Amino acid sequence: MGIVDLDFKPTVPVFDANITLGRYFNRDVRVDTVEGTLKAMRRSGIDRALVYSPHARDFDSLDGNQELIESINSNSNLVPKFACNPTFDNLETFANTVDQYGVRSLHMFPKPHNYPFKDWVVKPWLNWIASKQILLSISATDFDPAEMHDTIKEHPDVNVLLCLVHYGHISWAIPLLKSLPNLYVEISHYVSTDGISQLLDTVGHKRVLFGSGFPDFPMSPQLYHLHKCNLDNSTLKAVCGDNLHGLLMEG
């Protein structure tokens, strides 16, 4: 067994691409407050995090997104990601709210919201997302891979972050990433033997992003693992934060 560094801290700035912030309706989680999330980030050495509201995902996107903005209260360590439902939300109203708060990232939930990820449902939204150069996240469990391929292929100007990919998805996720150059992958669940190195060899370091999946999963393990993969410093910096920073077009 290898030696575990109990005093580990990341050696590069870290921008977590996938955190949920707020109470869940169906179960308790260890941390559901801004204060608790920031404390966990400090303990793990995470500087910033892209966060979205479970209320916006599970009930009402407008109310949940507004609640998220109010809870963050302009804290620069927490960057809001708005949940949206293209079959329910009014695009013009939603777009105005995004502009009002300067939001640079959205998350869609096709299967939980019960719609196919097809152009005849999402095309107006994807066209708007492309025009604003907003990052779109979708969880790997929430869509049909064939629909994802065909739809995103028609929208090459939309940058899509594939979240929560794990070893059971590799059979389709790797070909999907190879086929779609505007598809990126978040690695909170990507745990397999030499998996990170294989992923980097397949799609390159600019399309791989660190995320924790907190609070459903702890922040530190995948971050620790990244630092033990013998990555050069520029690759580690890219995966841990620079790639997300660039996709959000910050600065």
Q: What pLDDT is stored for residue 1 in this prediction?
A: 42
Residue 188 CB neighbours (<10 A) = 26
Q: Where do the structural domains in the chain lie, given as residue ranges?
A: 15-247
Residue 216 CB neighbours (<10 A) = 16
CB 149 within 8 A of CB 182: no
15-247: CATH number:
3.20.20.140
118-162, pLDDT tens digit by residue? 999 999 999 999 999 999 999 999 999 999 999 999 999 999 999
Could you state, in chain order, the average pLDDT of each consecutive group of 10 residues for the chain (251 residues)?
73 97 87 96 97 95 96 95 97 97 97 96 98 97 96 98 92 95 94 83 94 94 92 97 95 53
- pTM for this predicted structure: 0.95
- What distances in angstroms separate CA 61 from CA 81, 85, 141, one per listed residue? 11, 7, 20
